[in-house]
Amino acid sequence: MVQEVEGSRRPPGQNGVRGKQGETGSTGAAGTPGEDGNTVLSGVDAPAATVGKNGHFLVDTFAAIPYGPKSPSGWGVAASLVGARGAPGNDGADGEQGDTGPQGEPGKGTNWSIVQNCATV
């Protein structure tokens, strides 16, 4: 038999010393596999319908054109990654004078000359 007793309540005491860590528990069951992620494929031409899965992308590395994401109806329309060529920029400022290079090796002695007399060289 439990009897209820009413009395004054005391304030909580200080925390005790922390106990040592327990042993490692057993390994849990493996989780269910997640869904496949999207993949970026590459090739050198437009992708065939048999290439890749829905959600994948393909980059034609020759033409720099991406396709995708692939859907049940196909790869869709490609869009170029390369824009039109821009206008030439202005010439940059001249750089500083460079250091003088090392002296070259002496030339080889020769015994020849050029004579020009209006007909022969």
pLDDT digits (tens, 9 = 90+) for 32-87: 998 888 899 999 999 999 999 999 999 999 988 999 999 999 998 888 878 888 99
Strand order in the sheet with 57-60: 40-43, 57-60, 65-67
Torsion angle of C-alpha atoms 110, 114, 115, 116, degrees rounded to 10: 180
Quote the tokens at residue 103: 């002296």
pTM over 0.75: no
Percent of the chain with pLDDT over 70: 85
- Locate the DSSP E strands across the chain: 40-43, 57-60, 65-67
